Structure 1
């Protein structure tokens, strides 16, 4: 549920699809050696800078 909420937050804020939102979460988690659930919590709480997630977006 947490990851689904974070995907929704990203999709809304960045005006992207749910699949792309999940991809951004996953890439950020892997690149920073974080658990996906931790990244999701940070997105929901507003503790993560959206530019950090979109920096690798092509």
Structure 2
């Protein structure tokens, strides 16, 4: 099973790539805490930016 390396991924793909739950990603998109773009009714997660953000938050803790 290959990991998707596309920078923008739908929520389901981003879950498999990052290991984060769909609930976390959907809620983060709606709240604006997860870097994404919205096209129609589909959220595309900016996975590299999300991983950088999570790494930065971890370093602050």
Superposition TM-score, scaled by structure 2 size: 0.44
Bigger Rg, which one: 2
Higher RCO (C-alpha 8 Å, min separation 6)? 1
Q: Which has the higher strand share?
A: 2
Q: Which has the higher helix share?
A: 1
